[in-house]
Structure 1
Amino acid sequence: TNGPIKKYHDQLEEKYEFIKQQEPKLMEWKDSLTKLNEDINSLNSIISETNNKINNLMEKYNEEKKRLEEYEVRRQNYIKLISQKEQLAKQISDIKDEIEKLQEKVSNISYVEKEVEELRIYREILPIVTAYTSKLSQLSMLKNYIERLNNDINDLKNKLEAKKRLEPQYTEYNELQQEQKRLEPQYTEYIAYAKSVEESEKLLKEREEELNKLQVPDINEITKRLEEKRKLAEELDEEIGRIKAEEGNLKDAIEKLDKSANKGVCPVCGRELSEHLRLQLITEYRAKLNELNNRKKEVQLQVNRLKNEIRDLEREKENAQRKANTALMLNEEIKRLKEEIDEKKRRVEELRSSYNAYLEIKRRVEERKSIVNEYMKYASYTQEKLDNLIKELAQKQEELKRLEDEIEEIKRRTPILDLELVKSKVKDLEEKEKLLNELKGIAARLEVLKQQKEELQSRINNIERDIENLKYDESTYNALKVNVDNLQKQINDFNVKLSEAKGRLNSLLEYKNQLEKNIHDFEALLSEKNKIEKALLKLEKLREALGKKYLQSYLINAAKGIIEEHLNDILARFDLSFTRVELDFSDSLGKKTKGNIVAYLPDGQKVTVNSLSGGERIAVALALRLALAKLLIRDIGFIIMDEPTVFLDKQRRSDLLDVIRSATDIVPEIIIVTHDDEVVNVAEYVLEVNKEGESSKVIEGGGK
């Protein structure tokens, strides 16, 4: 087997074989260690010599590097001064170019000043010429306006005469409109009632047709049939109850007969009972149970059919009742519609005269609309408006006379009155003034540039003196740089060799440590070899004592009968299709396979557990756990089941809950830890645990 003893035996045997295989390697490791120490000493000598060479080169390198750094500072100053000199020289060149260009521009400044003086007279007369031109424009507009006023006055006189001619007919139109407005509510009411009568008559016709099409079934006849079906269903339910009671009596009798095996006494009457007769009675009772079960299924099918027929009749009765209610509502609505139509027709007759009068007035109003429209064209024209126009005409004529006098006065005082010519001269003046200001700015800029040129030349002279004092030589700098680079290359080459030597030394040291550790560990293993040999012998003897022929066989045979007795006693309390079960370990002793459970049907047929229904397999699984518990504990006070419905489908969950309900006769208390609401719904008492923040809250209560 693969028990802990076998496992420990295999471990010791593997360790023993490893020691035997590694013994020849011990001398090889020791020889390798001696040669390794020689290689390490040689590498240490090479590393020491290389370090001395690197130190000598570093002294020379630092001296040359210091000289190069000092010369580098001088070189940077030299480059900086040369760059400054070039920049200043470029600035002087740019300033010379700009001075030449500016001198050409300021050569005609005196001529521009003379032109400006000659053109300033036009700026002085520009406001007068502008005012003159504006007054001429006003004069033209005023003459046109006076002409339009004369035309408007004549037109208004004609329109006032037409208005006076149409005014009597307009007054009559207003009076007709007022009468039409007075009759309009009766006219609108007449139209509404007439339309309502038409709609109500149409609705009445629809309701009468709907009532004629509606067929109401006989509710009393349906009720009678329904009562007969319900009575028959009750009788069949009573028959099922009687069958279940008889089944219970037969099961009790079979259970008692099973328990009285080999006792020779009837458990019911107490008389003598042979084993043959006991088995015969059990067979008869089980046959009777099968008959009752078949009859129960047959009656149940009849009950189910009756229930379907009852549901159909109930729906038929509800449908008939709805149709009867609909017919009653339709009759009431038809009666209401007829009364409503009569009342509306009476009101229509009362409003007919007002309706006809309204139509006549409307016709006369339409006939006069064209005259009224013509009148409305002249309605806004009044005598007051005509008087205002005549007054305004007199004012404008006075304004015209005053404006003509002002224009004549300007002509007399100003010789030049051409506005475009004056504006052109003023524009020339502004351009010349702008040019003159620019030339004056350029002259000032010339003086500034000349001064800047002198200052820049002075700075260049100072920089040339600084360059001469610096005494920098480019060839000396390049020679120093080449020397420093060569020294650096030599140092780098020696450092590479030193790193390679150190790397090899570290590898050898690591290998040396590993060899020393291997030698030490193996010498320790050699000291355990004799102990392992003795332990293996003892374990072989222990395995033989605990093997298949001895302890294992004894334990299985001793527990099998007790477990079967508890298992069948528990299963007898459930309503199952088999009579008993048996444990079979014949093929599992000393092997890795598991034992089997077989079940016996009422006819004696032997079947495996896998061929049973899902609910029966769940019952067997639970009963087996309880039987094992009874083997270890005489009285089971409670059991705990953790998430028993996980991974089960709906039918299996239902089967498990039925088994758990039945098991409460065997175990006083069953505690279930679950997230399944179906389990919660069948529990007698519920403790709900909820997470709230960092703590949990327990809620008591609930259940059936």
Structure 2
Amino acid sequence: MIIKNLHMKNFKSHKDTRIEFDTGISIIIGGNGAGKSSILEAVSFALFKQHTSKKIQQLITIGQKRMSVAIQFSAHGRTYRVLRERTKTSSKAIMSIKEGERFQSLVSGDKQVTLEVQNILEMDGDLFLNAVYVRQGEISDLIEKTSSEKKQMVGRLLGIDSLETAWKNIKIILDKYNGQKLRLEGKLESFEDANVELDSKKEEETQFNIKIKDLNRDIEGKIIDTNLIREKMEILDKRSLEFGKNQTLLNSKEHFREQLEKTKKDLNWQLTEITGKEEEMSKLKPRLKKLNVLKSLEENIKELKNLNKDKKRLDAILTDIKRFKTILNENEVYYNDYSLLNTDISSLQYAKDQFEGSRVLSEQYTTRKSKIKVKMKKSLEKVKTVLETSNQILNTQFDSVEELENYLTTFKPQLEAKIQTTSEEIHDIQKELSNLQVKNQDLEKPIGELEQVKDLCPICKSAITPQKRDELIEDYQSDIEVNILRSKDLKEQLGDIEAQKGNLELQQSKIQSINLGILREYLKSVKDDAKEVENIDSNLKDLQDKITILEGIEKDIRKKKSQIENMKGKYENYIAAKGSLESLGNIEEHTSNLNEINTSLSGLKKKVSSLMEIAGDSVEDLPEEISYLEEMDKRYQHLQGEVSQKDALLKRQKENEMQIQETLEAVKEISQIIEDLNYNEKSHERVKKDWELKNEELTQLTGKKHMLIGQMDQLSLSIKELKSKIIEFQKYENELKNLKDFLKLLNFIRHIYGKDGVQKDLRNISRPLIEEKTRELFEKFNFEYSDIQLDDDYDVTIYGPTGKSSLDMISGGEKIAVAIALRLGITQVLSRGSLELIMLDEPTIHLDAYRRQELIDLLKKMSIIPQMIIVTHDADLEDAADNILRIEKEEGTSFLAES
């Protein structure tokens, strides 16, 4: 498998990162937390949906709703592409295959895509990670760890730890089923007791059946006796019901007859009353004829008074109209003059309004002009002050802002260039000092190791003489002293250059305080203010002409207002009289109305005189006489209404007589029916008591039977439960037998997964394969070793020119070579020999500087693996890279900064 490219969107800290991978060694480099390891995790997620987060939702960038990872890879000569997308609630997966220049969909869905990848790569996700992915520290662990730790590590890579985990987990399952076995055995202990109890319950059920049969016989006899009495009682009940119904009907008829007799008396009384009221009406009728004459007389008298009142009002209005017309004639000339003066004043006031603002505007312009002159003076003083300060800073004598600006335009870039040059010199010296310090530290380590040994080199473990050791120590110390002298010279140079840079930066900071922008603003402000003063003077000249016109208009207004004040009284008299005339109305209309009223008064007086002759003496107290006659009329109308009911009362009287006769006949008929029934209430009560006694005895027997049936039902339920329990016990027996067989099988499987089972077989099978693949790598790496052997604990023994050696007997560089060959040999075994890709995560971690350099040198020579991807923060690994992918992180977002 060769990875071609990877595209991550909102995956962890990668918002939108696309990486193109080439064959050879690709280095993914960046600081801690930059998002390097997330790239390897994205590969695992895209291929097998495997990740290290607790929840898959945590793979989505914080604040985003959707993430996706797309990977393109080649295997077995074909190119494939896998896309996986994920939201917080749903997922999507598509796998495509390249046909020509386009990709065609192959499968979709998470499970289907994962299965297809496994089929193509011939390994699942765990095997892929163990084979291809070299975790942090694995290289150093193969060198430094103890035998048991190395054995555990190799076991994890081969999947043996999964077998060990399975062996432990089967123990948990065994404990669970053994507990279940004990519970089943406890339940089966009560099996015999249940059979004995079942036989007892069946005997009890037989006795209950005998008792219920005897009760049924007694109940049948009681039912016959009870039915005979009940038939007799039903006949008496029917007679009692008929007797009661007729007795109630008889009482009702008697009561109805009494009510009819009362109604008869009441009707006779009402007819007597109506006869008296008819006599009273005949007396009232003649006296009511005079009422209409008196009412007519009263209305005409009232109308006569109203007409006299209207005549008086119209006479007063006509008098006022004549008076107000005289006032109008006398004051009309003053009204006209007053109106003309008012019109003139309004015209002058309008003209004044047109010029009124000129005076205020003139005052505002004058104030504004004074303020601008003060501002101009201050701006010029500030320009002078800033120019003097700038001359002091620069040690110059410029008289104008233009000269100062031209000077700074040239001087500033020159100063910045000098500062940049000194900064670069300082950086170079500091870098060289740091390198010298690292070199001395690297030299001090072998000196310390050489001082502690006598006849064996601590680095290559070869024999060494004391003289050779002293020479080596002296050479190392000589190199250190040379480096120290060089560092001293560099520090002196650094001090001089830093002082020079400090002076330049001080000068630069002073120049930065010179603000040419402020000077330009001040000069522009003075220029703008001078132009505004010129405009104000022009406006003031125009305003003065308008003020002169305004003063003439104000003088005319005062003169005309004095004239109008002298004639104000006459004008107001005219207005008041005119208003009054308008409110009094038309004089012709009033005169016409007065003539009509005089005519009506003449006719009305004649009519009143005629009615008074008819009324006679009643005219003296007309209202009281009318009121008396009206009350008499009301009484007559009331009597007339009551008398109108006479015919209806006579008809009701006749009907009442007929109802009385019918009721008497009905009473006689019902009394005969009651006599024919011959009903005896005491005899009926005796029969009812006999029936209640027999019914109570029957109820007791029936209740006893129901109680026995209930007890028997309860007994049947217990028998049923016991039978079910016995059947369940039989199931427990079968279940216990099956469980014992299953426990035997589990113990057998656990033995197979144990250390002496498949684990041992897998180690025995894999060990020679690993030795073979590692031996092949020795040849490809051109190692001087001819063979390698692993014992049961995966301790390494190698064979070379000097014979048999352990890892502790070879140099640090050789250890690294053996470790990397062994790890790749394990990878070859896991991948069945088809190793095209390997990914290393921080391979130099836990390695000292010497061994780290050895690993880098070894990686440079490796060309047996088509594609190697290394994640690291170690910049030294860049020397071994064919491709460098630099990952950076800003504001929480990782991105590819360089490739």
Do both proteins adopt the same fold according to a TM-score greater than 0.5, normalized to the shorter chain? yes
The equivalent position to 1:347 in structure 2, one of 546, 551, 561, is: 546
Question: 2:599 aligns to what?
Answer: 398
CA apart distance, 1:401: 1.0
Deviation of 1:139 after TM superposition, in Å, equals 0.6
Residue by residue over 1:109-128, the C-alpha shift from the partner in whole angstroms, topping out at 9 and shown as x without a partner, is 12222333444456655444
- Tell me which of 322, 341, 360 is aligned to 1:157: 322
| Superposition map of 1:627-666 within 5 A | none
Which string of whole-angstrom CA distances, capped at 9 and with x for unpartnered residues, describes residues 513-554 of structure 1? Answer: 223432453366358758856864784575242699998997
1:371 aligns with 2:578: no
Q: Deviations over 1:329-379 (max 9, x none)?
A: 655555444433332221121243233212221232233222211122212
For residues 73-112 of structure 1, what are the structure 2 equivalents within 5 Å? 74=238, 104-112=269-277
Supply the AA of the counterpart residue of 1:37.
L
Q: Distance in 2 between matches of 1:636 and 1:444?
A: 132
What is residue 513 of structure 1 aligned with on the other side?
724
Partner of 1:172: 337
* Alignment CA distance shift 1:454-1:21 (3 Å): same
Mapped partners of 1:556, 1:463: distance in 2: 129
Partner in structure 1 of residue 278 of structure 2: 113
Deviates more, 1:347-356 or 1:438-447: 438-447
Task: State the Cα distance separating 1:151 from its structure 2 match.
Answer: 2.9
Q: Residues 753 and 759 of structure 2 are in contact (CA less than 8 Å); yes or no, is this contact kept in structure 1?
A: no
What's the counterpart of residue 20 of structure 2?
none
Say whether the 8 Å CA contact 2:166–2:753 is kept in structure 1. Answer: no
With over 3 angstroms needed to count, the CA separation of the structure-2 counterparts of 1:321 and 1:30, relative to structure 1, is same
Q: Which runs of structure 2 are paired with 1:586-665 in the superposition (5 Å)?
A: none
Q: Deviations over 1:304-331 (max 9, x none)?
A: x99x999x979x7777777776666655
Contact 1:54 1:494 (C-alpha < 8 Å) held by counterparts: yes
2:349 corresponds to: 184
State the distance in 2 between where 1:58 and 1:210 align.
132
Give the drift of 1:452: 6.2
Q: Which amino acid aligns with 1:514?
A: K
Does the aligned pair in 2 maintain the 1:180–1:358 contact within 8 Å?
yes
1:406/1:37 Cα in 2 relative to 1: closer, same or farther (>3 Å)? same
State whether residues 198 and 722 of structure 2, in contact with CA within 8 Å, keep that contact through their aligned partners in structure 1: no
* Match status 1:433 vs 2:640: yes
User: Kindly tell me: are residues 408 and 9 of structure 1, through their superposed partners in 2, closer, same or farther at Cα, counting changes over 3 Å?
Assistant: same
Q: Among 343, 354, 362, which residue is 2:561 paired with?
A: 362
Question: Which structure carries more relative contact order (alpha carbon 8 Å, separation 6+)?
Answer: 2
Structure 2 counterparts to residues 236-385 of structure 1, below 5 A = 331-380=530-579, 381=581, 385=586
Q: What residue number does 2:168 align with?
A: 6
Q: Is the 8 A contact 2:840 2:869 kept in 1?
A: no
Distance 1:168 1:525, change over 3 A: closer
**Counterpart secondary structure, 1:545:** coil
Partner residue in 1 for 2:710: 499
C-alpha deviation, 1:405, in angstroms: 0.7
Does residue 44 (structure 1) correspond to residue 308 (structure 2)? The answer is no
Provide the aligned length of Structure 1 versus Structure 2: 574
Structure 1 match to 2:842: 571
When residues 44 and 309 of structure 1 are mapped into structure 2, their CA distance, relative to the original with a 3 A threshold, is farther
Structure 1 residues 106, 564: CA separation in 2 closer, same or farther (over 3 Å shift)?
Answer: farther
8 A contact 2:201–2:719 mirrored in 1: yes
Aligned to 1:624: none
Mapped to 2, the partners of 1:130 and 1:565 lie a distance apart of 141
Q: Quick one: distance in 2 between partners of 1:384 and 1:367?
A: 32
| Higher percent of residues as helix | 1
Structure 2 stretches lacking a partner, 5+ long: 1-160, 391-403, 443-458, 461-471, 764-790, 797-815, 825-837, 853-864, 874-880
Q: Post-superposition shift, 1:481?
A: 5.5
* CA separation of 1:494 and 1:185: change in aligned 2, threshold 3 A: same
Counterpart of 2:301 in structure 1 is 136
Alpha-carbon distance change, 195 to 530 in structure 1, aligned in 2, over 3 angstroms: closer
Q: 1:581 aligns with which of 841, 845, 861?
A: 845
Paired with 2:301 and 2:648, the residues of 1 have a C-alpha distance of 44
How far the C-alpha of 1:414 sits from its partner, in A, is 4.2
Contact between 2:331 and 2:570, CA under 8 Å: does it hold in 1? yes
Measure how far apart 1:166 and its partner are: 1.9
Give CA deviations for 1:372-428 in whole Å, capped at 9, x if unaligned.
111222125399944554444333222211110111122234455633233222222
CA contact (8 A) 1:109 1:439 kept: yes
With the length of structure 2 as denominator, give the TM-score of the two structures.
0.49
Deviation at 1:457, TM superposition (A): 7.1
Contact 1:46 1:501 (8 Å CA) reproduced: no
CA distance in 1, matches of 2:795, 2:665: 125
SS of residue paired to 1:4: helix
Computed over aligned residues only, the root mean square deviation of the Cα atoms, in angstroms, reads 6.4
Contact 1:40 1:509 in 2 (8 A): no
Letter of the aligned partner of 1:398 in structure 2? T
Higher strand share: 2
- Quick one: which amino acid aligns to residue 44 of structure 1? E
Q: 8 Å contact 1:163–1:379 — kept in the other structure?
A: yes
Letter in 2 for 1:143: N
